[in-house]
Structure 1
Amino acid sequence: MRHHRWDLPADLGAVPKVRELVCDTLTSWGARPESVDDAVLIFDELCANAFRHGSAPVSVLLYFTGEEISGEIIDTGEFFVPRRRQVGLSEESGRGLQIVETLATTWGVRPLQVGGKSVWFRLVHSHDGHVAHTPMICGLST
């Protein structure tokens, strides 16, 4: 399994850098382009949430097995289970978790023993290129 970790300040300005790092790393590891695109968008949404609602530092972890991309965003903020909210058509934000739920095979959040939380996801593409989805139970991992 290949893996990489980046430790970042909790700054929304770091989101474009995260997209670039994830894209370049997965591409260099030979991940399929459609998987790279989905992973970049998932990291984008989860990192933006961590930078908005979490506490510094924020760690971004990327894993690749050849068949599966997974990731974690860890911050030192208070643990809570993120909830999707209803958004109006004209609202410019609030759709991030809907995007994650649509693209990821599964995702969730777990408290860390040292404080803070980890929001994680798995992205598995089948051989025909479709994402294999696993039903999520409240986004909470044990």
Structure 2
Amino acid sequence: MYSTTATAAPPRLSEESGSVSAPTWPPPPRPPDHSAVIALPADASRVRTARRFVTAHLIHWQVAQAEQDRAELIVSELAGNAARHGRTDMTIRISLVDRDLRIDVTDSGSPASSRSLLPAPSDEAGRGLRLVGLLADWTAIRPHMQGWRACAGLHCSA
């Protein structure tokens, strides 16, 4: 079964000419100005590698230091979660479109597992996603066929 969702307004009748105008569609997604991806073993010792990978690219892409610092902390938390909960590997993908940075961390943890997203007050760990939410302009965490995908976005200053 297939379904479709219309996202544009229906054709409109122009009052002046009586002609029908074409619907206005959103522009197609723009390819990233820059993108980079790295696959690593899901191991805590590789979180540093993920951080350095992201920092090196952001320096090359001339992203401001404040956003580099935020992105580095976000990657540390997301890669740390992927290393802790992923079974075999994790993938870090970053992309920059205009001045919007997107960070995706995918792991191979069981998508059926029910990870608690909120720690108990007595827990000594588990606050990383809250930190990511405070550092990023937006976040999303979703299960996918091979595990979990955590995404975060930052708007970078010029």
Interval containing the TM-score (normalised by the shorter chain): 0.7 to 0.9
Where structure 1 has 5 or more consecutive residues not aligned to the other structure, the ranges are 128-142
For residues 40 and 122 of structure 1, do their structure 2 counterparts lie closer, same or farther at Cα, with a shift above 3 Å needed? Answer: same
Q: Is the 8 A contact 1:31 1:66 kept in 2?
A: no
1:74-114 CA distances to partner (integer Å, 9 max, x unpaired)?
112112465121445x93x32211210100111111222x3
Corresponding residue number in structure 1 for 2:58: 26
Instruction: State yes or no: 1:117 paired with 2:140.
Output: no
| Secondary structure in 2 matching 1:47 | helix
Q: CA deviation at 1:26?
A: 0.5
Q: Is the 8 A contact 1:81 1:109 kept in 2?
A: no
Corresponding residue number in structure 2 for 1:45: 77
Q: CA deviation at 1:33?
A: 0.8
CA distance in 2 between partners of 1:87 and 1:23 (Å): 33
Match of 2:119 among 81, 85, 89: 85
Query: Scaled by the length of structure 2, what TM-score is found?
Result: 0.71
CA distance in 2 between partners of 1:82 and 1:75 (Å): 16
Q: CA deviation at 1:125?
A: 4.1
Instruction: State yes or no: 1:75 paired with 2:94.
Output: no
Q: CA deviation at 1:67?
A: 1.1
**What amino acid sits opposite 2:155 in the alignment?**
V
CA distance in 1 between partners of 2:80 and 2:120 (Å): 18
User: Runs of at least 4 residues of structure 1 off by over 3 A?
Assistant: none
Structure with larger Rg: 2
CA distance in 2 between partners of 1:81 and 1:70 (Å): 23
Identity %: 28
1:14-62 CA distances to partner (integer Å, 9 max, x unpaired)?
0111111111110111111111100010000000011001222211101
| Secondary structure in 2 matching 1:118 | strand
Query: Scaled by the length of structure 1, what TM-score is found?
Result: 0.78
Aligned residue pairs, count: 124
Where structure 2 has 5 or more consecutive residues not aligned to the other structure, the ranges are 1-31
Q: Is the 8 A contact 2:88 2:108 kept in 1?
A: yes
CA distance in 1 between partners of 2:119 and 2:132 (Å): 13
CA distance in 1 between partners of 2:90 and 2:84 (Å): 11
Alpha carbon RMSD of aligned pairs, Å? 2.0
